[in-house]
Amino acid sequence: MESITPDKPLEKELLPLFTIKAPFQLPTEWKDFIVKVSPYVMLLLVPLTVFAIGLTAIASIFSTFTINFRWSLATLIVLVALVCSLLSIKGLFDRKREGWVWSYYAYLLILASDLLHFDFIDAIITFLISGFFLFQIREYYKK
């Protein structure tokens, strides 16, 4: 598969960490499976995330900016990540780089939100597991 030059923020630094420097590589069959099911998983997870956040949480963001700015900002970041996830779906189905890039942006935003919430365990898990799988399948998404 052709190599795509890393051109997104932190992509150049993270790519070798989750590919050539990773302690193991996913077998091709696993990568193929992940690439096939990931758009469907995204279709399932996005509505569940909206439901989990709930309309009251979205409405309360604006009233709590003065009470807990860090929490409100982290929640807004999750909402932006949700939009990125939505934008990724078509590209994931079409196996286009754009779908992977939107997923990558959602990954970075969720990581930032975890850090703002001081959920360091979640941040570590997000960084390691999501990053590993995201970069293992990166080569499947073309321009």
Element (H, E) at 36: helix 28-63
Question: Residue 95 and residue 87: Cα distance in Å, rounded?
Answer: 13
Residue range 3-20: average pLDDT?
91
What is the predicted pLDDT for the residue at 74?
83
Name residue, tokens 């939100």: 113
Q: What is the mean pLDDT of residues 67-77?
A: 80
Predicted local confidence at residue 64, as pLDDT? 58
Closest Cα to residue 86, out of 46, 130, 123?
A: 46
Per-residue confidence band for 62, with pLDDT thresholds at 50, 70 and 90:
low
pLDDT at 37 over 80: yes
pTM: 0.86
pLDDT above 90: residue 30? yes
Kindly indicate the confidence band of residue 60, based on its pLDDT and cuts at 50, 70 and 90. Answer: low
pLDDT at 143: 78
45-57: per-residue pLDDT in tens?
Answer: 888 887 777 755 6
Q: Output the six-digit token pair for 82.
A: 């949700």
Dist. CA 113–CA 44, nearest whole Å: 21
Domain layout of the chain by residue ranges: 26-140
